[in-house]
Chain A
Amino acid sequence: MTQRPPSFVVRAPTGTYRSLNPATKLATAAAEVVAAFFLGLWTGPVVVLVLVVLTAFVAGVARRLGVVAAVTIPIVASIMLINSLLYPGATDVIARIGPLAPSISGFLFGLQITIRLLAASLALGVAYLTTRTGDLLADLERRGFGRRASFIIGSAIETVPRTVTRAAEIVDAQRARGLDTEGRWWRRVRGIVPLAAPVVFGALTEVEERTMALEARAFSTPGPRTVIRTLPDSGRQRAVRWALLLGLVLLVGLRLTGHLAVVP
């Protein structure tokens, strides 16, 4: 009997949308982003936004998607304010208050950019929320991505929290040594090297040991490494991905050659 890895290693994803192959979810997100930017000024963004929100509900990630949307509030506010109040060359200015000139066309322009940005961000957000990084990397590797790219991405994600802690410790230590973070700007500029250099040096101390550890585990063996997790895929999903890719290319082509000018 062929031996299989234990079930806690295989970890097949469950859920209607979640169980789709990562490549499918990525292709969908990519197509949605392209549609948001290339399918007219309003149609694409609105359609994609609606589609994305629906998908989020189906996949059960609606609330978390709301959090992702909330993170974009500062930039959305900035876009709306700056374009509503300072849109150059506006002909329908409502009033003039000093340098500020609120206009309808400015507001509409800002709204357009906002919806487009939200549509694209949330499309990628849904992909992120319904796909585990490990699954994505495993699937990419099966498709020929290579162990080194997989290692780099996985290791980077694992290293960030440790580096955050270390950086916080260094900030405290340097503050105790007189690092000025509140004073005049030239004093704060002098804090750049005392802050950045220890963080970098500390992070680099591990390089030799980790290099040797990887070599000791035969990491540099040529050829593909053994696949132990295969994410489920299907002919139907493959067909959908190809269709999305073709549609994407067609859309970009049509838009660039001016055939989509009629689309609002």
Chain B
Amino acid sequence: MSLRLAGVSYRYAGSPNVVLSEVDLVVEQGEVVGIVGPNEAGKSTLCLVAAGLAPGTIAGRLEGTVTIDDLTTSTARPYELAQRCGSLFQNPGTQLSGTTLSVWEEIAFGPRNLGLALDEVVARVNAVVSTLEIGELVERAPARLSGGQAQLVALAGVLALQPAYLVLDEPTSQLDPQGTNLVGDALAGLAARSNVGILVVEHKTDLLAGIASRVAVLDAGRIVAIDASADILADERLPGWGVDQPSSVRLARAAALRGVSVG
């Protein structure tokens, strides 16, 4: 059981450009795969395709197959896909429904949509609240959350559907350092303590260094390198691909240049 992209190419509706080319990628349950690459490489598109939002919700032409456990994204309904693979994007503001008066109800939005029994809805909300440790936020109005808190609540809302996989498209890019830490810690916790398979696009390679077991580099719609995260993140070609290396790597290099070895 895995999230699997096989020979995937994708074009947006109304556009002739091929944004993803022959992408093969597997995310197993319990592993975290990071995606890095230059701007306009197709990383966001990769997220949409992996989660099944493309072509399902946004149309477009998909070649190859994307399977999430037993479902094929080109044939499954969006609500079925949402229960297998959760997606989180950059802007917390547009991911909250805007129709709930408390964080608790916001998290309950997803399970309620499924028509689950009230017991089950309550149980799921409480479970997610304790997993992400956001108990002190449950009574707050979603409109009054900081960026980082809102993103956590959005994450909670998605996790409440109990997906086996999670696709994250630069979840911290619009957050301040405090928010980034908040979300980063939550992701690290998920990576360590849950069995969710995570695919995460991030520019902040420090964050990836902490949670990803493998990292892939996407350039011009193709995966040009994929390996264990320590190896990829230390690869010297990264800056050429428009990716900042993690501070630990840069520190080591700077030290080496000065003849100091960092053990």
Contact = CB atoms under 8 A, between A and B. Distances in A.
A and B touch in the complex (CB under 8 A): yes
Interface residues of B, number: 48
A208 B58 contact: yes
Given A218-B161, A228-B121, A158 B115 contact: no
Nearest to B105: A9
B99 interface: yes
Q: Is the interface of B mostly helix, strand, loop or mixed?
A: helix
B97 interface: yes
A226 B116 CA distance: 6
A154 B138 CA distance: 20
A216 B101 CA distance: 20
Interface residues of A, number: 36
Interface in B92-137: 94-99, 101-102, 104-105, 108-119, 121-123, 126
Interface in A6-58: 6, 8-9
B126 A216 contact: no
B157 interface: yes
B112 A226 contact: yes
B112 A228 contact: yes
A202 B32 CA distance: 36
A145 B57 CA distance: 25
Contacts of B122: 3-5
A226 B53 contact: no
B57 A212 contact: yes
A215 B111 contact: no
A225 B119 contact: no
Contacts of A155: 97-99
Contacts of B250: none
A182 interface: no
A228 B158 contact: no
A174 interface: no
A202 to B, nearest CB: 13
Contacts of B150: none
Nearest to A208: B58
Interface in A182-211: 206, 208-211
A224 B144 CA distance: 29
- 7 cross-chain pairs, A with B, having the tightest CB-CB distances, nearest first: A154-B99, A3-B122, A218-B79, A209-B94, A221-B79, A215-B78, A217-B110
Interface of A: 2-6, 8-9, 134, 147, 150-151, 154-155, 158-159, 206, 208-221, 223-228
